[in-house]
Structure 1
């Protein structure tokens, strides 16, 4: 999908078919997805599925959320996506069951090789494990796996998969584990 050997500062980084598909999706997002009323989650899911997204049951996504390439998007059951979330998924982006992605979070699957003379574009998949919570305005970088049950705190920046493992609370820039997450009975 990414063109190799192209100077990404002056030329296209993606094939014509990819750019056309994203252009068509952009028109659909702008005219049918974005203006849809707040409770029409099923309508937005149908549009995403029309463009190749794989989405489970009880998926709620707000109209202001952006998905760069729906055909590279997969989400499980009982997932909530808040207002203004940005899924810049140049590579596969998967979200497990029972996940919340809060307002303004940015999941970015692309970067550039800043040592390459042509500033080559690179993409890597992102995976959000089940029962995770990506809080308000958090940033998840390319190639990151958020382990199951983890909380990525508000405005935290997670550029690497944490080695400390699942069920942790991560905060800061760069995000570090600040404590464990323990689920209590309600």
Structure 2
């Protein structure tokens, strides 16, 4: 997907096929996804699946959420992705069941090697467990894994994986500030 050793100032960073696929998604996103009424979650889920996303049941992705590459997205059952969220998924982003990504949050799966001669673009996956809440305007960087039940506070910056489940993290960079009480109750149909 990402071309290696290219000159990003003079040539593309992605293959031709990838660029075509992204442009098709951009047209669908602007014309059909972003303009859909807020309650039309099933419609947006259909469009994401059409472009290769793997989604569980009851997923709510709101119309102003930005998904860079649906084929690199996996959402468990009953995941909520709010308006204004950016899923910059140059690599896979996996979000576990019953997790919520609040408005303005940014999950960033790509960056550049600033020490390379050609400012090489690279990507790493982001994995969020079940019952995770990434609060408003938080930033989660590439290669991060977040354990089940973790809360990432508003405007927090997560630059390292969080292995301790059911904890609360906040700040720049995010650090543990509290424990979270585990009150998991499975929804029944």
Q: Above 0.5 in TM-score? A: yes
In the alignment, the residues of structure 2 paired with residue 185 and residue 37 of structure 1 have an alpha-carbon distance, to the nearest angstrom, of 31
Equivalent residue runs for 1:30-49 within 5 Å: 30-49=30-49
Report the TM-score when normalising by structure 2. 0.95
The Cα shift of 1:145 comes to: 0.6
RMSD: 1.3
Which residue of structure 2 aligns with residue 89 of structure 1?
Answer: 89
SS in structure 1 at match of 2:111? strand
Which residue of structure 2 aligns with residue 179 of structure 1?
Answer: 178
Structure 2, unaligned runs of 5 or more: none
Which residue of structure 2 aligns with residue 59 of structure 1?
Answer: 59
SS in structure 1 at match of 2:98? coil
Equivalent residue runs for 1:30-179 within 5 Å: 30-163=30-163, 165-179=164-178
In the alignment, the residues of structure 1 paired with residue 146 and residue 11 of structure 2 have an alpha-carbon distance, to the nearest angstrom, of 33
Contact 1:97/1:130, CA 8 A, preserved across alignment: yes
1:44-87: CA deviations, max 9, x gaps? Answer: 00000000000000100110001100001000001111111000
The Cα shift of 1:174 comes to: 0.4
1:98-148: CA deviations, max 9, x gaps? Answer: 100000100000011010010000100001110100000000000001111
Report the TM-score when normalising by structure 1. 0.96
In the alignment, the residues of structure 1 paired with residue 133 and residue 184 of structure 2 have an alpha-carbon distance, to the nearest angstrom, of 18
In the alignment, the residues of structure 1 paired with residue 135 and residue 115 of structure 2 have an alpha-carbon distance, to the nearest angstrom, of 32
In the alignment, the residues of structure 2 paired with residue 88 and residue 109 of structure 1 have an alpha-carbon distance, to the nearest angstrom, of 6
The Cα shift of 1:184 comes to: 4.6
The Cα shift of 1:185 comes to: 8.2
In the alignment, the residues of structure 2 paired with residue 37 and residue 9 of structure 1 have an alpha-carbon distance, to the nearest angstrom, of 39
Cα separation, partners in 2 of 1:185 and 1:72, compared to 1, 3 Å: closer
In the alignment, the residues of structure 2 paired with residue 55 and residue 150 of structure 1 have an alpha-carbon distance, to the nearest angstrom, of 21
Contact 1:91/1:109, CA 8 A, preserved across alignment: yes
Contact 1:9/1:119, CA 8 A, preserved across alignment: no
In the alignment, the residues of structure 2 paired with residue 171 and residue 157 of structure 1 have an alpha-carbon distance, to the nearest angstrom, of 8
Structure 1, unaligned runs of 5 or more: none
